[in-house]
Structure 1
Amino acid sequence: MLTIKPYIMFSRLVVIFLVLLANTCSRNKATQQQITSIQQKRWSLTEMEGQKLTNSPVWLEFDATARRFNGNGGCNKVAGEYELTGNEITFKKVISTRMACIDAASNERESALLRMLNDRTYTVRMEEQQLQFRDSGRVALQFTGKTKVKNTK
């Protein structure tokens, strides 16, 4: 019968624990970088469900301290809560004003956006000026970031 000496088994457990701890720490570090990056920009929608958008009036901004977002859905102001954990973002309690859009296409795009944000979780992929929300590996929403202009009141 094969026996493993207790100190060998203990050593292996310590190594496994240290590897898991290192992975957790690096994941938290990435989250802090994402939080900093996500809140410093105004994110303009450039793609929605595979459809490229040019000159889209849709944008979002994130407040990491309050864990809230706000923006423009195209016709109406939008806002809500979000939680960024690791590489996942969850949107909650999404609200908007209720003015009608001038054209039907804008109205449908805004309604689809609100459905896509309300009580949904996405995998986040962020690279420099690009923010993607992915669902099952496909890009659901893609944004381009521009540094926010601070009010000088």
Structure 2
Amino acid sequence: MKKIYFYLAFLFLALLIISCKSKTPSAQNSNDITSKTWKLMEINGQPLQLKNSKNNPYFSLDKAEMRYSGHGGCNGVSGTFEIKPEMMRIKFNQGMSTMMACDDLETEQLFTKALLAADNYTLNGNTLFLNKARMAPLAKFVLQE
């Protein structure tokens, strides 16, 4: 009878270890915002109002190169970033941009300013919020498919 309890306890422990290991990667991936393109929807709590709807700002993160790239609405933007997905922390470093003028230049400046000010993010399904400390979100993005 003791052998049966021993085997049952061993089986239970083995199943517990296996189930914990299988859940760990998905928990880490749930905060992963890299290798995706994020389209700007709101800036400083205001819905995006573009003069030219083709100029919708977006960005993506290349984790292999630790670089971000995107489009501010008028100009391409790129630079390096640092991320800690387990803590949902992010830092965009000053990068480079082309210097073309357009109708939505003000939106582009706000977009770039939000990227550089962000120090953390929140992910809710296909919606990404870039935040500064515990203040209201700087920018709201949706996953571009």
Same fold, judged at TM 0.5 (above): yes
Count of paired positions? 115
Q: Which has the higher strand share?
A: 1
> Who is 2:6 aligned against?
none
Question: 2-side partners of 1:68 and 1:30: how far apart?
Answer: 24
1:107/1:58 Cα in 2 relative to 1: closer, same or farther (>3 Å)? same
- Report if aligned partners of 2:57, 2:111 keep a CA contact under 8 Å in 1: no
Question: 2-side partners of 1:87 and 1:125: how far apart?
Answer: 7
Structure 1 alignment gaps of length 5 or more: 1-25, 148-153
> Who is 2:105 aligned against?
107
> Who is 1:72 aligned against?
71
Structure 2 alignment gaps of length 5 or more: 1-23
Shift of 1:130: 0.5
**CA displacement 1:59-87 (0-9 Å, x = unmatched):** 10110111111010000001111111221
1:42/1:53 Cα in 2 relative to 1: closer, same or farther (>3 Å)? same
Question: 2-side partners of 1:107 and 1:30: how far apart?
Answer: 39
> Who is 1:48 aligned against?
43
SS of 1:138's partner is coil
One-letter code aligned to 1:52: P
Give the alignment's TM-score, normalised by structure 1. Answer: 0.66
Identity %: 28
- Report if aligned partners of 1:31, 1:87 keep a CA contact under 8 Å in 2: no
Runs of 4+ in structure 1 over 3 Å off: 28-33
- Report if aligned partners of 1:57, 1:74 keep a CA contact under 8 Å in 2: yes
One-letter code aligned to 1:126: L
User: Alpha carbon RMSD of aligned pairs, Å?
Assistant: 2.2
> Who is 2:90 aligned against?
89
- Report if aligned partners of 1:94, 1:114 keep a CA contact under 8 Å in 2: no
Give the alignment's TM-score, normalised by structure 2. Answer: 0.69
Shift of 1:97: 0.4
- Report if aligned partners of 2:41, 2:141 keep a CA contact under 8 Å in 1: yes
SS of 2:74's partner is coil
> Who is 1:122 aligned against?
119
One-letter code aligned to 1:44: K
